[in-house]
Amino acid sequence: MQSIRKYISSAWQALFGDPVRAFGVVSLVLLLALAVTPTKEHFSQWHSYQRKYLSLIRDRGDAVSMRRRFEPGIHQIWMPELGVVDRCTTCHLGLSEASLADEHQQPFRKHPAIPHSVDGFGCVICHGGQGAATTVSEAHHSERDGEAPILPTRYIEAGCGQCHQNAMAGTPQLNLGRTMLARYGCVRCHAVTRPDGTKMMPTDHPPSLVHVADKTTREWIYSWLKDPQAYAATATMPNYKLTDQDASDISAYLISSSKPQPGDTSAASVKNASAGSATNPADGASLYGQSFCSSCHAVQNAAGNVVGGDVGPELTRIGNKVKPEWLNAWLNNPRIYDATTPMPHYRFTPRQIATLADYLHSKTDADYGANVQLAAATPQQIARGRRLIIDGGCAACHEINGVQTPQNFAPDLSTIGSKPLAQIAFLPGMEHTVSTYIVSKIRQPRAFGGAVKMPQFALSNAQTDALTTALLAQTGRSRTIPDTLRVAAAEDTNYQPAGHAGKLMTELACFSCHRINGRGGDMAPDLTYEGSSVQRQWLTDFLKNPNTLRPSLIRRMPRFNLSDSDNKELTDFMLAVYQTSAVDPDTAPSATNPPQVVEQGRQLFYSKFACQSCHIVDTKTDKGYIGPTLTQVGSRLTPAWTYAWLKNPQALRPGTAEPNQKMSDEDARALTAFLMSLKGTSGKGAKQ
């Protein structure tokens, strides 16, 4: 103790013994204190990156100009209206240096070409992370309160989705994810509101279960509930991991609550036709093909590949599912069982119905559900089934007698992409990012605890990533950006044609494949201007017997057995209503033209514009296989449409693949004259 005190007093004497020495010591301490900040800055991380950058560009051919563009110090992109304070460019110095395209190490890589500039939007809007930080760990990996690590590259399209609610060509993953949110029933349980306040609406068609006992058996429902994908590999219904008892009770309630629908099972004439004589299975297969059922329905072939469309349910084991009498009634008129089905009313003859029904019933897997033996349901079971249905949220998708559609059944996901990390219960060993949380939650929802109701979806990794991308785009930031930057979602209109023709179009489910006035599918051509496009006789004939316009397509227009009066009604309506003012019959060339003009058009067709690369006008010489066959185009299209189309195809049908050839009026007239001369002969050239 004594010695320490002695030591301190001698040190004090040594440093501050006389005023001059004291002044010197104090000055030295002050100088050192002042030097701390510059020293810290000199040895800071960003400063060393800037030195590395300078030595990187030193040896390059354009070092002088690059050196001139380099500014030392902390760089900052500040955009108050976007809430952007980004200092990323302090270290990422080569983002817009074209000649650094060959540099592969961060942080000096050139930014890949995208439609926006870094100066206009900064970095964190797309990439996430902390823009204001100036160290790698804080900027990229911070997990502190209110902060989140940067977005992994695989979900980068989520950045685009904050402003762009529409589907863009450059963001396939985001587009797929959004389609899936609507298509897989996600938005039926979870509310997802877009930044502009509109809600994402479901686009799927989960079957109503109010008459389910007409259609199928309790045993099938039981097997289906236990594992939907075991019945059909492409089933979109998720697996609720039900116990045997749960599945048994739910199926008991569904069957007991089902109310019979008159007409569902009692199509007497159909039954008689079926009973009349045995049908030929080969006829069934060919009718299935001719009716283009595979455009919408898939079937798993012997090689295990699922072939066909995904508009309707997979039919691989349809024989296990539906009752024969229901199938007959359904094929006779699907709208009796389900008024809103996307399936067209084909107007099959009783004989055709019997043939098709027998063919479909042959699609039965003897092993499927073979061991299912359910004892008759007790009232307790039925009551328990109803409670399970309410608890499980089944009625969020399916209409069920005696159960109300639940509101806000699952958490709102409108801002899930910026959910604070502190509010997320991560599993042990899980990376602390929102993206990892979402992916894990989609892949294994029940891993987050036994009380989680979310079912197990059967999704590929690419689908999970797409869904995650779409959800990560739902950020808090997207709600605060200026309205001018927002691009609204393109949603279907609720266009409904009026009158008897409108009723016919609903029955034929035209909108399942065709788009008209902003509503409908994209499998077949947009018919908004069909009335300007085609000739009356052709349309009448086509509706009667749709022949092939595009030989390379495997999805084609099916044949409906329309009556002559219905056919005329539909033709009249389409010709009168689906018109465009862009096609002007008055200024267009006439349907018949002098031979020399036709010949001039032929020359243009084959030499200058080389149309034969995609189209066939002479089946002997031409082979073009992309656009429609034109052997009879003079009987199909109107001259006014043809002329306007040649001048600018995209103006009439946005996004069509035929390029706009910048044709002069004279060339377009001559080509129209040539095309109008191609009347073909009935049947010739169409049977490619």
Partner 1 sequence: MMKRVNTEVLRSSACLALLAVVALAGCKSGTQPNAALKPTGTGAAIVETSGGHQVGATGTALKDPVVVQVNDEQGTAVPGALVQFQGPAGVSFEPAAALTDTSGQATTAVTLGGIAGRYQLTAVTPGKAKPASLDVIETALGYQQRLGAILADKYCTRCHDPESSAERVSNYDNLETKPHAFTDGNTLNKMSDADLTAIIQYGGPALKRSALMPPYEKTLSLAEVRALIAYTRALADPPYQPAGTVYAHK
The residues of the shown chain that bind partner 1, judged by CB under 8 A, are 29, 32-33, 36, 39-40, 43-45, 48, 59-62, 99, 101, 104-105, 109, 112-115, 152-156, 169-170, 172-173, 307, 461-462, 465, 552, 554, 607-610, 613-614, 623-626, 648, 650, 657, 659-662
Alpha helices for 473-617 (secondary structure H): 477-480, 499-507, 530-533, 536-544, 564-577, 595-603
Nearer to partner 1, 109 or 443 (CB): 109
Nearer to partner 1, 5 or 662 (CB): 662
Nearer to partner 1, 36 or 268 (CB): 36
Distance in Å, CB of 172 to partner 1, minimum: 7
The answer to whether residues 611 and 551 touch, using CB atoms and an 8 Å cutoff, is: no
Nearer to partner 1, 577 or 651 (CB): 651
Distance in Å, CB of 11 to partner 1, minimum: 17
- 600-628 in b/e form (b: 16+ CB < 10 A) is bbbebbbeebebbebbbbeeeebeeeebb
Distance in Å, CB of 286 to partner 1, minimum: 19
Distance in Å, CB of 281 to partner 1, minimum: 24
Nearer to partner 1, 151 or 372 (CB): 151
Note if the bond before 594 is cis, omega within 30 degrees. no
Cα(114)–Cα(121) distance, rounded to whole angstroms?
A: 12
DSSP per-residue codes, 363-427: ---TTTTTT---PPPPHHHHHHHHHHHHHHTGGGTS-BTTBPPPSS-B---TTGGG--GGG--PP
Helix (H) or strand (E) holding 665: helix 665-676
The answer to whether residues 317 and 231 touch, using CB atoms and an 8 Å cutoff, is: yes
| Beta partners for residue 483, in sequence order | none
Nearer to partner 1, 230 or 233 (CB): 233
CB-based contacts of 31, cutoff 8 Å, min separation 6: none
Nearer to partner 1, 253 or 292 (CB): 292
Distance in Å, CB of 492 to partner 1, minimum: 22
Question: Is 429 exposed, middle or buried (CB count within 10 Å of its CB: 0-12, 13-18, 19+)?
Answer: exposed
Distance in Å, CB of 84 to partner 1, minimum: 20
Residue count (the chain): 688
The answer to whether residues 291 and 344 touch, using CB atoms and an 8 Å cutoff, is: no
Nearer to partner 1, 171 or 257 (CB): 171
Distance in Å, CB of 170 to partner 1, minimum: 4
Alpha helices for 432-533 (secondary structure H): 434-443, 461-472, 477-480, 499-507, 530-533
For residue 321, give the nearest of 218, 245, 398 by alpha carbon.
218
Nearer to partner 1, 518 or 659 (CB): 659
Residue 508 corresponds to which tokens in the numbers above? 């034929």
Nearer to partner 1, 101 or 488 (CB): 101
Distance in Å, CB of 207 to partner 1, minimum: 28
Alpha helices for 70-105 (secondary structure H): none
Nearer to partner 1, 115 or 379 (CB): 115
Distance in Å, CB of 185 to partner 1, minimum: 25
Distance in Å, CB of 10 to partner 1, minimum: 22
Residue 648 corresponds to which tokens in the numbers above? 């600018």
Alpha helices for 444-563 (secondary structure H): 461-472, 477-480, 499-507, 530-533, 536-544
Distance in Å, CB of 373 to partner 1, minimum: 39
